[in-house]
Chains A and B, each alone.
Chain A
Amino acid sequence: MSSDRLSGGTPSIQRRLTVTLVAIVGVSLVACSLTVYVKFTQGVWRDFDARLVQDAHAIALMVEEYGDRPWEIEPGGFEAFKQMRGPASVEIWMDDGSVLWRAPGSVDLPFPAKAAGPTFSDVTLRDGRPGRICQAWLPPRQGHEGGVHQAASGRRIGIAVARQIDEPLATIAGFRVLLWAPTLGVILVAALAASLSIRTMLGHVKKISEGIAALDASSPGDRLLLRGVPDELRPPFVKLNELLSRIEASRVRERQFNADVSHELRTPLAGLRSILEVSASRGRSAAEYRVTLGEALAVVRQMETIVENLLMLARLGSGQMTVEREEIALGQLVDSCYAPYAEAARQRGLRFDNHVPPSLIVWSDPHRLRLVLANLLSNAAEYTAEGGSIAVESHPERGVVVTVRDSGPSIPRGAVARLFDPFFRLDPSRSASGEHCGIGLTLVRALCDALGYGVEARNEVGGGVSFTVSAEASSIGFQPSRTHASSSFEEREERREASRTVS
């Protein structure tokens, strides 16, 4: 089951590898053995044929040529032959086709064709057993006539020698066993070894998959043990471990976020409860109740802001928010975003300069951009040291949507990168103190992401802090004097479509 799941229904690795290995080993071994077998068989038959040829020559020497007289067979010659070379069927022909001599008990052997050399063929012997025959035309021995050596006539006698082939057949059969048994053995052993070693290798996979099955969702710190796992099998499991690490980190972040959220809400909740309980502890005048209710309402509003921000953050994170862009007069938007903080900032002696040209039009989502600006400006208004200054600029041609710059104090070195983290505060106690519940900048970043903008914080050279919202220069906006004249309604619609697809 588990291997099927792993391989997604394709044949198992073990079977495929084993079959392939066995096929390769088998084919090469069989080919090798076949070659050896053929060579050996050929050798055996060559030797057998050579022996038949020798037989033929020995028999030819038994015949004596006597000119015109009938030729003779040396008496007892065949007995000597049989003794020396074993039993054989022999026939001797004259070249006129007449049989000169036939060994007793021999089969009827065919008249030998006249060929240059000896010819060989298989025959069935008289007793029905398979045999092999050698036929050759050879010169006979020269007979002696009264001590006179007869001159050779040049005539030849046809000799056919046939023998049983039991012996070479037995040799070949023996060799076959000798050859094929170990070949098959080797193939079997190879199959077994391959199967075993593959099983061992895959055993690691099985072990790890068991390890994966044993992973406990509630203890994300667990990792797969890779001790003893071969290098080739490691990468997917190393990746899996890396994934586990990332999941763990994200869960830690999530848990921290949840803890932070509950902490954020717990403080105002404690305030609210305390306000109401103390107020209810005794009878009070209407005026006192009014004050109490006002205080309670302020706390509720604050909690509402926190919850709304959290909700927006969640929606932005899940991509549920659509972005609807339109032409926005940025300078005016900056002023209206700063207005709620202006009075408090003035009391703290802060100077505010809006350097955005009144004619500058940007192409963006007014609600999102308003939230971005409101957060950056309220941060600046609250955290800039007394008597300082806040300045807003915009440089679309350089890819800068807006920069909010204040006179400081600077942000500690290590904190700049963490400013946009949820609930990160330079002063950890700044919890729930009014607007700044610790997710303002996180929200700014999420909003910028949704708008396709980048946002970064920087300590300015010579003091002060700047927050810059940036984008691709071409996507930010256009000067009405330049673009409005040339941009038709259709063009703007196109742009609107394009920006929607981007977001």
Chain B
Amino acid sequence: MKGKRKVWAVCLGIAVAAMSAAGCASVESGGQGPEKVSEEKRLTVYTSHKQEVYAPIVKEFEERTGIWVEVVPGGTTELLERIRKEGEKSPCDVMFGGGVESYEVYKDCFAPYESTQSDHIESIYRTEDHAWTAFTELPIVLIYNNKLVDAAAAPRGFEDLLDGNWDGKVSFADPGKSGSSCTMLETMIQVLPMRENEILEQFAKVLNYRMAAGSGAVLDEVSEGKYLVGLTLEETAKKYIDRGAALSIVYPREGTSAVADGCAVIKGAEHEENAKLFVDFIVSPDVQRLAADELYRRTVRDDIIPSQKEEGSIMDFDLEWAVKNQESILERWAALMDGNGGGS
């Protein structure tokens, strides 16, 4: 009996040896990689910017600081909701991108931080509670297809859009989906002398109760000649023009709003110091100049002179009012569109 057990033990031993040999065999690749990254050299950024915007900035940040940045891209609302849901345990250290009116809504998720650069940031983008820091401003502009529309006949402002000449020829993104579209409606309400309802009803009529699927679609529709005029952001319009699209920009003569997009340190961030470094970095002169020169954005600093002249007049947009009324405006707009058999 004992002998038998011994035999089994030997067999088992051999089997184990064979298995361990298998274990050795599986590690076959080789070479040497970089050293391990310590926690002090990490940063997680949630961003709603497009890659062409965040990639060079993040890359330069990495190169200059040696901090490894993990980027989680997504939509503004999606990411802010996620941060709220994840709460204290959120891996996110810093939120980058998205209009500051959205940041106002999610203020409770942010750790107040006053950037070291705040002295050079234009006063309208400075907040008392320092919940967020403005990155760039994005003016709203009109665009028209310059092959189909003569420069002289083109609309000069928001009011011109409503004069009946452009009914069914205007492309506008669904404000329920695009934050900038929402800002456009709010801008029109603030800038035009008419009553709120009147503006919304007239504009809905101009659109023929139809909206473009997204902000990108507006540019495509106008440049392709499907629609003649569109409302979009200066940044997007310039980018398209640089790529050769047959578009021209009109800065509304009533003045236009330029709602900033923001950046904020998340409350309870694991890498808070790095997050602050990042916020300082994006409002630093170098990044601001890059944003103005290469990314078609407008700087929020008062000490940067962009290589191209900034056109158009920027009105004083009432952000507080916009945040407060956003929901009701959107509801009314949706009702108008639905009620007239609209939709996209």
A binds B: no
